[in-house]
Structure 1
Amino acid sequence: MSEKILDVAAGLILRGDGQLLLGQRPEGKSWAGWWELPGGKLEPGETVLEALARELDEELGIKVTEATPWVTYVHAYPHTTVRLAFCRVTQWEGEPRGRENQQLAWVDPARATDVGDVLPATLPPLRWLQLPDTYGISNIGQPEGLPSFLQRLDAALGRGLRLVQVREPGWPDGPDAPSLHTALQAVLQRCRDAGAQVLVNSAHPRAWWAEADGVHLRAADAAQVLAAGQAESLREGLHQQAKVAVSTHDRAQVTVARELGADFIVAGPVAATASHPGEAGVGWEGFEAIIADAGVPAYAIGGQGPETLADAREHGAHGVAAIRAVFR
Protein backbone atom coordinates (compact mmCIF):
# COMPACT_ATOMS: atom_id res chain seq x y z
CA MET A 1 0.00 0.00 0.00
CA SER A 2 1.23 3.48 -0.89
CA GLU A 3 2.35 5.62 2.05
CA LYS A 4 0.36 8.57 0.69
CA ILE A 5 -3.33 8.44 1.55
CA LEU A 6 -5.72 10.79 -0.19
CA ASP A 7 -8.89 11.61 1.74
CA VAL A 8 -11.92 11.77 -0.51
CA ALA A 9 -15.62 12.47 0.08
CA ALA A 10 -17.82 10.46 -2.28
CA GLY A 11 -21.56 10.87 -2.65
CA LEU A 12 -24.15 8.20 -3.30
CA ILE A 13 -26.85 10.42 -4.74
CA LEU A 14 -30.05 8.42 -4.39
CA ARG A 15 -33.41 9.23 -5.90
CA GLY A 16 -36.63 8.19 -4.20
CA ASP A 17 -36.99 5.29 -6.64
CA GLY A 18 -33.61 3.86 -5.56
CA GLN A 19 -31.71 4.97 -8.67
CA LEU A 20 -28.10 6.05 -8.11
CA LEU A 21 -26.16 8.73 -9.98
CA LEU A 22 -22.83 7.82 -11.59
CA GLY A 23 -20.48 10.05 -13.55
CA GLN A 24 -18.08 9.05 -16.33
CA ARG A 25 -14.51 10.30 -16.03
CA PRO A 26 -13.77 12.61 -18.97
CA GLU A 27 -10.92 12.39 -21.43
CA GLY A 28 -7.64 13.70 -20.08
CA LYS A 29 -8.12 12.26 -16.61
CA SER A 30 -6.73 8.99 -15.30
CA TRP A 31 -9.17 6.11 -15.77
CA ALA A 32 -10.91 8.12 -18.51
CA GLY A 33 -14.19 6.55 -19.58
CA TRP A 34 -14.70 4.70 -16.32
CA TRP A 35 -17.76 5.38 -14.19
CA GLU A 36 -17.55 6.57 -10.60
CA LEU A 37 -19.40 8.17 -7.73
CA PRO A 38 -19.17 11.98 -7.73
CA GLY A 39 -17.02 13.69 -5.13
CA GLY A 40 -13.47 14.78 -4.51
CA LYS A 41 -10.66 15.30 -2.07
CA LEU A 42 -11.00 17.10 1.24
CA GLU A 43 -9.40 20.51 1.49
CA PRO A 44 -7.55 21.48 4.70
CA GLY A 45 -9.97 22.19 7.53
CA GLU A 46 -13.01 20.70 5.79
CA THR A 47 -15.26 18.06 7.28
CA VAL A 48 -16.39 15.22 5.05
CA LEU A 49 -19.89 16.63 4.61
CA GLU A 50 -18.52 20.11 3.89
CA ALA A 51 -16.19 18.73 1.23
CA LEU A 52 -18.99 16.67 -0.26
CA ALA A 53 -21.33 19.65 -0.52
CA ARG A 54 -18.63 21.77 -2.17
CA GLU A 55 -17.61 19.04 -4.63
CA LEU A 56 -21.18 18.24 -5.68
CA ASP A 57 -21.83 21.93 -6.29
CA GLU A 58 -18.67 22.28 -8.37
CA GLU A 59 -19.09 18.98 -10.19
CA LEU A 60 -22.87 18.71 -10.64
CA GLY A 61 -24.34 22.12 -9.82
CA ILE A 62 -26.54 20.86 -7.01
CA LYS A 63 -26.96 22.08 -3.44
CA VAL A 64 -27.00 19.23 -0.94
CA THR A 65 -29.75 19.60 1.67
CA GLU A 66 -29.71 16.13 3.23
CA ALA A 67 -26.69 13.83 3.51
CA THR A 68 -25.48 11.34 6.08
CA PRO A 69 -22.12 9.60 6.63
CA TRP A 70 -22.06 5.93 5.73
CA VAL A 71 -18.89 3.84 5.25
CA THR A 72 -15.24 4.89 5.22
CA TYR A 73 -13.29 2.55 2.98
CA VAL A 74 -9.60 2.42 2.03
CA HIS A 75 -8.67 1.35 -1.50
CA ALA A 76 -5.15 1.04 -2.92
CA TYR A 77 -4.71 2.03 -6.57
CA PRO A 78 -1.35 1.43 -8.30
CA HIS A 79 -0.01 4.92 -7.56
CA THR A 80 -2.05 6.16 -4.64
CA THR A 81 -4.22 4.99 -1.78
CA VAL A 82 -7.57 6.66 -1.23
CA ARG A 83 -9.61 6.80 1.95
CA LEU A 84 -13.15 7.20 0.68
CA ALA A 85 -15.74 8.61 3.03
CA PHE A 86 -18.92 7.42 1.36
CA CYS A 87 -22.02 9.45 2.22
CA ARG A 88 -25.62 8.96 1.23
CA VAL A 89 -27.22 12.02 -0.35
CA THR A 90 -31.01 11.87 -0.31
CA GLN A 91 -32.11 15.50 -0.77
CA TRP A 92 -30.71 18.25 -2.95
CA GLU A 93 -31.71 21.36 -4.88
CA GLY A 94 -31.17 21.59 -8.62
CA GLU A 95 -30.86 19.03 -11.39
CA PRO A 96 -27.47 17.28 -11.63
CA ARG A 97 -25.55 18.18 -14.76
CA GLY A 98 -21.98 17.48 -15.80
CA ARG A 99 -20.16 20.74 -15.14
CA GLU A 100 -16.78 19.13 -15.94
CA ASN A 101 -17.85 17.69 -19.32
CA GLN A 102 -18.59 14.32 -17.74
CA GLN A 103 -21.48 12.11 -18.78
CA LEU A 104 -24.02 11.23 -16.08
CA ALA A 105 -26.30 8.23 -15.70
CA TRP A 106 -28.96 7.13 -13.23
CA VAL A 107 -28.55 3.41 -12.58
CA ASP A 108 -30.00 0.57 -10.57
CA PRO A 109 -27.21 -0.22 -8.04
CA ALA A 110 -27.73 -3.95 -8.66
CA ARG A 111 -27.10 -3.44 -12.39
CA ALA A 112 -24.75 -0.48 -12.33
CA THR A 113 -22.03 -2.19 -14.35
CA ASP A 114 -24.42 -2.37 -17.32
CA VAL A 115 -23.48 1.27 -18.01
CA GLY A 116 -19.80 0.34 -18.55
CA ASP A 117 -16.58 -0.09 -16.60
CA VAL A 118 -16.92 1.07 -12.98
CA LEU A 119 -13.94 2.18 -10.88
CA PRO A 120 -12.82 -0.63 -8.54
CA ALA A 121 -13.36 1.49 -5.42
CA THR A 122 -16.96 2.13 -6.49
CA LEU A 123 -17.91 -1.55 -6.65
CA PRO A 124 -18.16 -2.26 -2.88
CA PRO A 125 -20.75 0.47 -2.16
CA LEU A 126 -22.84 -0.80 -5.04
CA ARG A 127 -23.07 -4.13 -3.20
CA TRP A 128 -23.68 -2.50 0.17
CA LEU A 129 -26.59 -0.48 -1.14
CA GLN A 130 -28.45 -3.74 -1.70
CA LEU A 131 -28.45 -4.55 2.02
CA PRO A 132 -31.81 -3.88 3.70
CA ASP A 133 -31.97 -1.12 6.30
CA THR A 134 -33.49 -3.35 9.01
CA TYR A 135 -32.05 -6.59 10.40
CA GLY A 136 -34.43 -8.67 12.48
CA ILE A 137 -33.07 -11.08 15.11
CA SER A 138 -35.30 -13.98 16.12
CA ASN A 139 -36.70 -14.36 19.63
CA ILE A 140 -38.60 -17.65 19.60
CA GLY A 141 -37.21 -18.58 23.02
CA GLN A 142 -38.84 -21.95 23.62
CA PRO A 143 -40.50 -24.48 21.29
CA GLU A 144 -43.96 -23.49 22.43
CA GLY A 145 -43.23 -19.95 21.28
CA LEU A 146 -42.79 -20.95 17.62
CA PRO A 147 -46.39 -20.44 16.40
CA SER A 148 -46.52 -16.95 17.91
CA PHE A 149 -43.12 -16.04 16.48
CA LEU A 150 -44.07 -17.21 12.99
CA GLN A 151 -47.13 -14.96 13.13
CA ARG A 152 -44.93 -12.01 14.12
CA LEU A 153 -42.44 -12.95 11.41
CA ASP A 154 -45.19 -12.97 8.79
CA ALA A 155 -46.30 -9.53 9.93
CA ALA A 156 -42.72 -8.18 9.81
CA LEU A 157 -42.17 -9.61 6.33
CA GLY A 158 -45.43 -7.98 5.27
CA ARG A 159 -44.04 -4.65 6.51
CA GLY A 160 -40.95 -5.11 4.33
CA LEU A 161 -38.41 -6.94 6.51
CA ARG A 162 -35.88 -8.61 4.20
CA LEU A 163 -33.01 -9.73 6.45
CA VAL A 164 -33.40 -12.08 9.41
CA GLN A 165 -31.00 -13.78 11.82
CA VAL A 166 -31.98 -17.01 13.54
CA ARG A 167 -30.39 -16.80 16.98
CA GLU A 168 -31.83 -19.07 19.67
CA PRO A 169 -29.26 -19.70 22.44
CA GLY A 170 -31.97 -20.68 24.92
CA TRP A 171 -33.48 -23.46 22.82
CA PRO A 172 -33.51 -26.70 24.85
CA ASP A 173 -31.01 -29.46 24.04
CA GLY A 174 -31.44 -33.17 24.38
CA PRO A 175 -32.82 -36.04 22.28
CA ASP A 176 -36.39 -35.40 23.41
CA ALA A 177 -36.37 -31.65 22.78
CA PRO A 178 -38.31 -30.28 19.79
CA SER A 179 -36.05 -29.59 16.86
CA LEU A 180 -34.69 -26.09 16.35
CA HIS A 181 -33.72 -27.23 12.86
CA THR A 182 -37.39 -27.78 12.08
CA ALA A 183 -38.13 -24.29 13.35
CA LEU A 184 -35.37 -22.94 11.09
CA GLN A 185 -36.98 -24.65 8.11
CA ALA A 186 -40.28 -22.93 8.87
CA VAL A 187 -38.53 -19.54 9.09
CA LEU A 188 -36.65 -20.19 5.85
CA GLN A 189 -39.81 -21.07 3.97
CA ARG A 190 -41.62 -17.91 5.02
CA CYS A 191 -38.62 -15.70 4.32
CA ARG A 192 -37.98 -17.18 0.90
CA ASP A 193 -41.61 -16.76 -0.05
CA ALA A 194 -41.21 -13.07 0.81
CA GLY A 195 -37.82 -12.65 -0.88
CA ALA A 196 -35.96 -12.23 2.43
CA GLN A 197 -32.57 -13.66 3.42
CA VAL A 198 -31.84 -15.63 6.59
CA LEU A 199 -28.51 -15.82 8.41
CA VAL A 200 -27.84 -18.44 11.09
CA ASN A 201 -26.01 -17.45 14.26
CA SER A 202 -22.68 -19.20 14.77
CA ALA A 203 -24.03 -20.72 17.99
CA HIS A 204 -25.84 -23.20 15.72
CA PRO A 205 -24.45 -25.99 13.48
CA ARG A 206 -22.35 -24.96 10.50
CA ALA A 207 -24.35 -27.24 8.21
CA TRP A 208 -27.31 -24.90 8.72
CA TRP A 209 -25.39 -21.91 7.35
CA ALA A 210 -25.47 -23.36 3.83
CA GLU A 211 -29.15 -24.25 4.11
CA ALA A 212 -29.82 -20.62 4.88
CA ASP A 213 -28.12 -17.57 3.35
CA GLY A 214 -24.97 -17.42 5.43
CA VAL A 215 -23.79 -16.93 8.99
CA HIS A 216 -23.76 -14.28 11.67
CA LEU A 217 -20.60 -14.79 13.74
CA ARG A 218 -20.51 -13.94 17.41
CA ALA A 219 -17.48 -11.77 18.21
CA ALA A 220 -15.69 -14.59 20.03
CA ASP A 221 -16.37 -17.03 17.19
CA ALA A 222 -15.05 -14.55 14.63
CA ALA A 223 -11.83 -14.14 16.61
CA GLN A 224 -11.45 -17.90 16.83
CA VAL A 225 -11.93 -18.34 13.08
CA LEU A 226 -9.26 -15.74 12.36
CA ALA A 227 -6.82 -17.10 14.95
CA ALA A 228 -7.19 -20.60 13.51
CA GLY A 229 -6.34 -19.35 10.01
CA GLN A 230 -9.76 -20.34 8.69
CA ALA A 231 -10.74 -17.03 7.10
CA GLU A 232 -10.39 -18.34 3.55
CA SER A 233 -12.52 -21.41 4.28
CA LEU A 234 -15.27 -19.47 6.06
CA ARG A 235 -17.46 -19.32 2.97
CA GLU A 236 -16.89 -22.90 1.84
CA GLY A 237 -20.19 -24.57 1.06
CA LEU A 238 -22.13 -21.29 1.06
CA HIS A 239 -23.89 -20.11 -2.09
CA GLN A 240 -22.53 -17.17 -4.07
CA GLN A 241 -24.92 -14.59 -2.62
CA ALA A 242 -24.52 -15.79 0.98
CA LYS A 243 -23.55 -13.25 3.62
CA VAL A 244 -21.09 -13.28 6.51
CA ALA A 245 -21.90 -10.88 9.35
CA VAL A 246 -20.04 -10.25 12.62
CA SER A 247 -21.08 -8.85 15.98
CA THR A 248 -18.68 -6.16 17.21
CA HIS A 249 -18.36 -4.20 20.44
CA ASP A 250 -15.02 -2.46 19.93
CA ARG A 251 -12.55 -1.47 17.22
CA ALA A 252 -10.43 -4.61 17.66
CA GLN A 253 -13.44 -6.77 16.86
CA VAL A 254 -14.15 -4.60 13.81
CA THR A 255 -10.60 -5.30 12.62
CA VAL A 256 -11.28 -9.02 12.94
CA ALA A 257 -14.50 -8.67 10.94
CA ARG A 258 -12.71 -6.76 8.19
CA GLU A 259 -9.93 -9.35 7.98
CA LEU A 260 -12.56 -12.07 7.66
CA GLY A 261 -14.11 -10.22 4.72
CA ALA A 262 -17.44 -9.69 6.48
CA ASP A 263 -20.25 -8.27 4.37
CA PHE A 264 -21.46 -6.17 7.30
CA ILE A 265 -21.14 -5.79 11.04
CA VAL A 266 -23.54 -5.18 13.90
CA ALA A 267 -22.14 -2.71 16.45
CA GLY A 268 -23.22 -1.71 19.91
CA PRO A 269 -25.17 -1.91 22.06
CA VAL A 270 -25.98 1.75 21.61
CA ALA A 271 -28.38 1.65 24.55
CA ALA A 272 -29.07 -0.91 27.28
CA THR A 273 -31.51 -3.66 26.29
CA ALA A 274 -33.69 -6.22 28.03
CA SER A 275 -31.92 -9.02 26.16
CA HIS A 276 -28.56 -8.03 27.71
CA PRO A 277 -29.37 -6.91 31.26
CA GLY A 278 -26.58 -5.13 33.08
CA GLU A 279 -24.73 -4.28 29.85
CA ALA A 280 -24.48 -0.51 29.51
CA GLY A 281 -24.85 1.05 26.09
CA VAL A 282 -21.95 2.79 24.35
CA GLY A 283 -24.10 5.70 23.16
CA TRP A 284 -23.92 7.23 19.72
CA GLU A 285 -20.45 8.65 20.30
CA GLY A 286 -19.22 5.19 21.23
CA PHE A 287 -20.97 3.68 18.20
CA GLU A 288 -19.25 6.14 15.88
CA ALA A 289 -15.89 5.30 17.44
CA ILE A 290 -16.44 1.56 16.94
CA ILE A 291 -17.36 1.83 13.25
CA ALA A 292 -14.98 4.66 12.28
CA ASP A 293 -12.64 2.45 10.25
CA ALA A 294 -14.94 -0.51 9.65
CA GLY A 295 -14.74 -0.46 5.85
CA VAL A 296 -18.12 -2.22 5.68
CA PRO A 297 -21.70 -1.21 6.51
CA ALA A 298 -22.69 -1.29 10.18
CA TYR A 299 -26.06 -1.92 11.77
CA ALA A 300 -26.69 -0.25 15.12
CA ILE A 301 -28.08 -2.50 17.85
CA GLY A 302 -29.30 -1.81 21.36
CA GLY A 303 -32.54 0.11 21.84
CA GLN A 304 -33.00 0.33 18.08
CA GLY A 305 -35.98 -0.12 15.80
CA PRO A 306 -37.67 1.37 12.74
CA GLU A 307 -38.36 4.58 14.66
CA THR A 308 -34.64 5.13 15.31
CA LEU A 309 -33.45 4.45 11.75
CA ALA A 310 -33.07 8.10 10.77
CA ASP A 311 -31.14 8.87 13.95
CA ALA A 312 -28.89 5.84 13.42
CA ARG A 313 -28.06 6.99 9.90
CA GLU A 314 -27.09 10.42 11.18
CA HIS A 315 -24.37 8.63 13.14
CA GLY A 316 -23.06 6.56 10.23
CA ALA A 317 -25.16 3.40 10.54
CA HIS A 318 -26.35 1.57 7.46
CA GLY A 319 -29.43 0.51 9.36
CA VAL A 320 -30.72 -0.93 12.61
CA ALA A 321 -30.76 -4.42 14.10
CA ALA A 322 -33.34 -5.39 16.68
CA ILE A 323 -35.36 -8.17 18.25
CA ARG A 324 -38.50 -6.84 19.90
CA ALA A 325 -38.93 -3.68 17.84
CA VAL A 326 -38.94 -5.67 14.58
CA PHE A 327 -41.09 -8.68 15.60
CA ARG A 328 -44.05 -6.98 17.21
Structure 2
Amino acid sequence: MASDVPAILKYTRNVYYIGNMEIAKLEKGRVTFYNIDGDVIEKPLTEITWDAESAEKGGYEHFMLKEIHEQPKVIRDTINSVVSDGTVHFDSVNLTDEEMKSIDQIYIVACGSAYHVGVGLQYVIENLTSLQVRVELASEFRYRDMKLNKNSLVIVISQSGETADTLAALRMAKDSGVKTLGIVNVVGSSIAREADNVFYTLAGPEISVATTKAYSCQLVAGYLLALQLAKVRKEIKDERYSELLTEINTIPEKIEKILENKERLQWYSNKLVNISDSFFIGRGIDYAKGNKEVHHEKSIYINSSISSNT
Protein backbone atom coordinates (compact mmCIF):
# COMPACT_ATOMS: atom_id res chain seq x y z
CA MET A 1 0.00 0.00 0.00
CA ALA A 2 1.19 3.52 -0.78
CA SER A 3 -0.05 7.09 -0.96
CA ASP A 4 1.34 7.51 -4.48
CA VAL A 5 2.48 5.27 -7.31
CA PRO A 6 6.25 6.12 -7.40
CA ALA A 7 6.69 4.58 -3.94
CA ILE A 8 5.88 1.08 -5.20
CA LEU A 9 7.01 1.15 -8.83
CA LYS A 10 10.18 -0.79 -8.10
CA TYR A 11 7.98 -3.66 -6.89
CA THR A 12 5.08 -3.67 -9.36
CA ARG A 13 3.49 -1.92 -12.34
CA ASN A 14 -0.03 -3.12 -11.50
CA VAL A 15 -2.12 -1.15 -9.01
CA TYR A 16 -5.62 -0.86 -7.65
CA TYR A 17 -7.00 2.60 -6.84
CA ILE A 18 -9.26 2.69 -3.79
CA GLY A 19 -11.92 5.40 -3.64
CA ASN A 20 -13.56 7.35 -0.85
CA MET A 21 -15.82 5.30 1.43
CA GLU A 22 -14.27 2.05 0.20
CA ILE A 23 -12.49 -0.68 2.17
CA ALA A 24 -9.74 -3.06 1.09
CA LYS A 25 -9.15 -6.41 2.78
CA LEU A 26 -5.62 -7.71 2.18
CA GLU A 27 -4.94 -11.43 2.41
CA LYS A 28 -2.07 -13.56 1.20
CA GLY A 29 -2.30 -13.64 -2.58
CA ARG A 30 -5.49 -11.62 -2.92
CA VAL A 31 -7.33 -8.42 -2.11
CA THR A 32 -11.08 -7.88 -1.72
CA PHE A 33 -12.82 -4.50 -1.97
CA TYR A 34 -16.00 -3.43 -0.18
CA ASN A 35 -18.19 -0.35 -0.18
CA ILE A 36 -19.10 1.38 3.08
CA ASP A 37 -22.14 -0.92 3.44
CA GLY A 38 -19.92 -4.00 3.37
CA ASP A 39 -20.90 -5.15 -0.12
CA VAL A 40 -18.16 -6.66 -2.28
CA ILE A 41 -17.26 -4.45 -5.25
CA GLU A 42 -15.11 -5.09 -8.30
CA LYS A 43 -12.22 -2.77 -9.08
CA PRO A 44 -10.12 -2.79 -12.27
CA LEU A 45 -6.40 -3.52 -12.15
CA THR A 46 -4.49 -0.59 -13.69
CA GLU A 47 -1.12 -0.99 -15.39
CA ILE A 48 1.29 1.92 -14.92
CA THR A 49 2.98 2.75 -18.22
CA TRP A 50 5.88 4.82 -16.83
CA ASP A 51 8.74 3.45 -14.75
CA ALA A 52 10.45 4.44 -11.48
CA GLU A 53 13.21 6.26 -13.37
CA SER A 54 10.60 8.79 -14.56
CA ALA A 55 10.38 10.02 -10.96
CA GLU A 56 14.18 10.43 -10.68
CA LYS A 57 16.38 13.30 -11.88
CA GLY A 58 17.91 11.22 -14.67
CA GLY A 59 21.26 13.04 -14.62
CA TYR A 60 19.80 16.56 -14.56
CA GLU A 61 20.76 19.00 -11.84
CA HIS A 62 17.19 19.31 -10.62
CA PHE A 63 13.68 18.12 -11.46
CA MET A 64 12.52 21.33 -13.10
CA LEU A 65 15.31 21.20 -15.67
CA LYS A 66 14.54 17.54 -16.37
CA GLU A 67 10.84 18.22 -16.77
CA ILE A 68 11.46 21.16 -19.11
CA HIS A 69 13.49 18.85 -21.36
CA GLU A 70 10.80 16.16 -21.23
CA GLN A 71 8.22 18.46 -22.81
CA PRO A 72 8.75 17.46 -26.46
CA LYS A 73 8.22 13.77 -25.70
CA VAL A 74 5.23 14.10 -23.39
CA ILE A 75 3.49 16.62 -25.64
CA ARG A 76 4.05 14.30 -28.60
CA ASP A 77 2.65 11.38 -26.57
CA THR A 78 -0.42 13.40 -25.60
CA ILE A 79 -1.06 14.42 -29.21
CA ASN A 80 -0.57 10.90 -30.53
CA SER A 81 -3.02 9.52 -27.96
CA VAL A 82 -5.92 11.13 -29.86
CA VAL A 83 -4.57 12.09 -33.30
CA SER A 84 -4.14 9.74 -36.25
CA ASP A 85 -4.70 9.88 -40.01
CA GLY A 86 -4.84 13.67 -39.96
CA THR A 87 -7.77 13.97 -37.55
CA VAL A 88 -8.61 13.98 -33.84
CA HIS A 89 -10.29 10.84 -32.49
CA PHE A 90 -11.95 11.09 -29.09
CA ASP A 91 -12.76 7.40 -28.70
CA SER A 92 -10.46 7.17 -25.67
CA VAL A 93 -12.03 10.31 -24.20
CA ASN A 94 -15.48 8.82 -24.77
CA LEU A 95 -16.90 12.15 -25.95
CA THR A 96 -19.15 11.56 -28.96
CA ASP A 97 -19.85 13.88 -31.89
CA GLU A 98 -23.51 14.05 -30.87
CA GLU A 99 -22.55 15.19 -27.38
CA MET A 100 -20.23 17.87 -28.73
CA LYS A 101 -22.96 19.15 -31.07
CA SER A 102 -25.44 19.46 -28.21
CA ILE A 103 -23.22 21.68 -26.03
CA ASP A 104 -24.34 25.31 -25.76
CA GLN A 105 -22.17 26.53 -22.86
CA ILE A 106 -18.77 25.54 -21.48
CA TYR A 107 -17.47 26.09 -17.97
CA ILE A 108 -13.77 25.50 -17.29
CA VAL A 109 -13.09 24.99 -13.60
CA ALA A 110 -9.65 24.63 -12.03
CA CYS A 111 -7.14 25.92 -9.48
CA GLY A 112 -3.60 27.30 -9.68
CA SER A 113 -1.75 26.80 -12.96
CA ALA A 114 -4.60 24.72 -14.34
CA TYR A 115 -6.87 27.76 -13.95
CA HIS A 116 -4.52 29.75 -16.20
CA VAL A 117 -4.70 26.94 -18.75
CA GLY A 118 -8.47 27.43 -18.67
CA VAL A 119 -8.19 31.18 -19.25
CA GLY A 120 -6.05 30.54 -22.33
CA LEU A 121 -8.45 27.90 -23.62
CA GLN A 122 -11.34 30.31 -23.26
CA TYR A 123 -9.80 32.48 -25.98
CA VAL A 124 -9.11 29.48 -28.22
CA ILE A 125 -12.55 27.87 -27.94
CA GLU A 126 -14.40 31.15 -28.42
CA ASN A 127 -12.19 31.98 -31.39
CA LEU A 128 -12.84 28.67 -33.14
CA THR A 129 -16.50 28.14 -32.22
CA SER A 130 -19.67 30.08 -31.40
CA LEU A 131 -19.66 28.66 -27.86
CA GLN A 132 -19.49 30.93 -24.84
CA VAL A 133 -16.89 29.88 -22.27
CA ARG A 134 -16.72 30.82 -18.61
CA VAL A 135 -13.59 30.15 -16.57
CA GLU A 136 -14.06 29.76 -12.84
CA LEU A 137 -11.77 29.20 -9.87
CA ALA A 138 -12.89 25.91 -8.40
CA SER A 139 -12.64 27.34 -4.87
CA GLU A 140 -15.32 29.91 -5.81
CA PHE A 141 -17.39 27.86 -8.25
CA ARG A 142 -18.24 25.26 -5.61
CA TYR A 143 -19.69 27.85 -3.22
CA ARG A 144 -21.82 29.76 -5.71
CA ASP A 145 -25.45 29.11 -6.51
CA MET A 146 -24.74 28.20 -10.13
CA LYS A 147 -27.68 27.78 -12.51
CA LEU A 148 -26.10 25.24 -14.84
CA ASN A 149 -27.75 24.61 -18.20
CA LYS A 150 -28.37 20.91 -18.85
CA ASN A 151 -26.61 21.29 -22.20
CA SER A 152 -23.52 22.73 -20.58
CA LEU A 153 -20.16 20.97 -20.41
CA VAL A 154 -18.08 21.46 -17.28
CA ILE A 155 -14.38 20.88 -17.92
CA VAL A 156 -12.26 20.37 -14.82
CA ILE A 157 -8.47 20.51 -15.13
CA SER A 158 -6.06 19.04 -12.59
CA GLN A 159 -2.61 17.53 -12.92
CA SER A 160 -3.02 15.24 -9.91
CA GLY A 161 -6.72 14.58 -10.35
CA GLU A 162 -7.04 15.07 -6.59
CA THR A 163 -7.26 18.88 -6.20
CA ALA A 164 -9.85 19.18 -3.41
CA ASP A 165 -11.74 22.25 -4.64
CA THR A 166 -11.75 21.03 -8.24
CA LEU A 167 -13.02 17.63 -7.18
CA ALA A 168 -15.79 19.27 -5.12
CA ALA A 169 -16.75 21.44 -8.12
CA LEU A 170 -16.90 18.33 -10.31
CA ARG A 171 -19.25 16.63 -7.86
CA MET A 172 -21.43 19.74 -7.73
CA ALA A 173 -21.69 19.76 -11.53
CA LYS A 174 -22.58 16.08 -11.61
CA ASP A 175 -25.24 16.58 -8.94
CA SER A 176 -26.75 19.24 -11.25
CA GLY A 177 -26.99 16.68 -14.06
CA VAL A 178 -24.40 18.45 -16.22
CA LYS A 179 -21.95 16.52 -18.39
CA THR A 180 -18.36 16.68 -17.13
CA LEU A 181 -14.96 16.25 -18.73
CA GLY A 182 -11.74 15.89 -16.75
CA ILE A 183 -8.34 16.83 -18.17
CA VAL A 184 -6.02 15.02 -15.79
CA ASN A 185 -2.55 13.51 -15.72
CA VAL A 186 -2.89 10.73 -13.15
CA VAL A 187 -4.64 7.54 -14.23
CA GLY A 188 -7.11 6.29 -11.65
CA SER A 189 -7.23 9.58 -9.73
CA SER A 190 -10.48 10.72 -8.10
CA ILE A 191 -11.36 13.16 -10.91
CA ALA A 192 -10.52 10.54 -13.53
CA ARG A 193 -12.84 8.06 -11.85
CA GLU A 194 -15.72 10.45 -11.26
CA ALA A 195 -15.83 12.59 -14.42
CA ASP A 196 -18.12 11.42 -17.21
CA ASN A 197 -15.28 11.74 -19.73
CA VAL A 198 -11.52 11.88 -19.28
CA PHE A 199 -8.75 13.28 -21.48
CA TYR A 200 -5.48 12.00 -20.07
CA THR A 201 -2.39 14.15 -20.50
CA LEU A 202 0.58 11.82 -20.74
CA ALA A 203 3.08 14.01 -18.90
CA GLY A 204 4.25 11.36 -16.45
CA PRO A 205 5.15 12.28 -12.86
CA GLU A 206 5.88 15.95 -12.24
CA ILE A 207 7.93 16.57 -9.11
CA SER A 208 8.70 20.29 -9.33
CA VAL A 209 6.46 22.77 -7.54
CA ALA A 210 6.49 25.01 -10.64
CA THR A 211 4.69 23.08 -13.36
CA THR A 212 6.19 22.87 -16.84
CA LYS A 213 5.42 19.73 -18.81
CA ALA A 214 2.02 19.09 -17.22
CA TYR A 215 0.94 22.66 -18.01
CA SER A 216 2.09 22.30 -21.63
CA CYS A 217 0.22 19.01 -22.05
CA GLN A 218 -2.95 20.51 -20.57
CA LEU A 219 -2.80 23.36 -23.08
CA VAL A 220 -2.30 20.98 -25.99
CA ALA A 221 -5.18 18.78 -24.81
CA GLY A 222 -7.41 21.85 -24.64
CA TYR A 223 -6.34 23.01 -28.11
CA LEU A 224 -7.20 19.59 -29.55
CA LEU A 225 -10.58 19.69 -27.82
CA ALA A 226 -11.29 23.17 -29.20
CA LEU A 227 -10.30 22.11 -32.70
CA GLN A 228 -12.50 19.02 -32.64
CA LEU A 229 -15.46 20.98 -31.26
CA ALA A 230 -15.14 23.36 -34.20
CA LYS A 231 -14.97 20.51 -36.71
CA VAL A 232 -17.88 18.49 -35.32
CA ARG A 233 -20.05 21.59 -35.08
CA LYS A 234 -19.09 22.53 -38.68
CA GLU A 235 -17.66 25.88 -37.58
CA ILE A 236 -14.29 25.47 -39.29
CA LYS A 237 -13.31 24.71 -42.87
CA ASP A 238 -11.45 21.48 -43.57
CA GLU A 239 -8.40 23.36 -44.85
CA ARG A 240 -8.17 25.47 -41.69
CA TYR A 241 -8.69 22.39 -39.51
CA SER A 242 -5.81 20.56 -41.22
CA GLU A 243 -3.61 23.64 -41.02
CA LEU A 244 -4.13 24.06 -37.28
CA LEU A 245 -3.71 20.35 -36.57
CA THR A 246 -0.43 20.42 -38.49
CA GLU A 247 0.70 23.37 -36.35
CA ILE A 248 -0.14 21.45 -33.18
CA ASN A 249 1.83 18.46 -34.44
CA THR A 250 4.92 20.64 -34.92
CA ILE A 251 4.96 21.90 -31.31
CA PRO A 252 7.27 19.14 -29.96
CA GLU A 253 9.83 19.74 -32.72
CA LYS A 254 9.78 23.50 -32.12
CA ILE A 255 10.39 23.02 -28.39
CA GLU A 256 13.27 20.65 -29.17
CA LYS A 257 14.91 23.32 -31.33
CA ILE A 258 14.57 25.89 -28.56
CA LEU A 259 16.09 23.55 -25.98
CA GLU A 260 18.96 22.66 -28.31
CA ASN A 261 20.07 26.30 -28.38
CA LYS A 262 21.72 26.02 -24.98
CA GLU A 263 24.10 28.95 -25.43
CA ARG A 264 21.25 31.39 -26.10
CA LEU A 265 19.21 30.01 -23.21
CA GLN A 266 22.22 30.38 -20.91
CA TRP A 267 22.72 33.96 -22.09
CA TYR A 268 19.12 34.83 -21.19
CA SER A 269 19.43 33.02 -17.86
CA ASN A 270 22.53 34.98 -16.92
CA LYS A 271 20.73 38.23 -17.73
CA LEU A 272 17.74 37.38 -15.56
CA VAL A 273 19.13 35.27 -12.72
CA ASN A 274 19.46 38.13 -10.24
CA ILE A 275 16.12 39.86 -10.80
CA SER A 276 13.96 40.37 -7.72
CA ASP A 277 10.80 41.61 -9.48
CA SER A 278 9.18 40.97 -12.85
CA PHE A 279 6.29 42.63 -14.66
CA PHE A 280 4.33 41.31 -17.63
CA ILE A 281 2.26 43.07 -20.27
CA GLY A 282 -0.11 41.29 -22.64
CA ARG A 283 -3.44 41.43 -24.41
CA GLY A 284 -5.90 38.69 -25.31
CA ILE A 285 -4.42 35.24 -25.06
CA ASP A 286 -1.06 36.82 -24.23
CA TYR A 287 -2.67 38.28 -21.11
CA ALA A 288 -3.65 34.73 -20.13
CA LYS A 289 -0.08 33.55 -20.73
CA GLY A 290 1.27 36.46 -18.74
CA ASN A 291 -0.89 35.59 -15.75
CA LYS A 292 0.46 32.05 -15.90
CA GLU A 293 4.04 33.34 -15.87
CA VAL A 294 3.24 35.56 -12.88
CA HIS A 295 1.92 32.49 -11.07
CA HIS A 296 4.97 30.51 -12.14
CA GLU A 297 7.49 33.07 -10.95
CA LYS A 298 5.75 33.53 -7.63
CA SER A 299 5.99 29.79 -7.09
CA ILE A 300 9.78 30.09 -7.30
CA TYR A 301 9.81 33.12 -4.97
CA ILE A 302 10.13 35.96 -7.49
CA ASN A 303 7.80 38.92 -6.93
CA SER A 304 5.78 39.25 -10.13
CA SER A 305 2.68 40.99 -11.49
CA ILE A 306 0.88 41.78 -14.73
CA SER A 307 -0.78 45.03 -15.79
CA SER A 308 -4.58 45.22 -15.71
CA ASN A 309 -7.35 47.80 -15.80
CA THR A 310 -8.22 47.25 -12.14
TM-score by length of structure 2 reads 0.26
- In the superposition, the TM-score normalised over structure 1's length comes to 0.25
Greater RCO between the two (CA within 8 Å, min separation 6)? 2
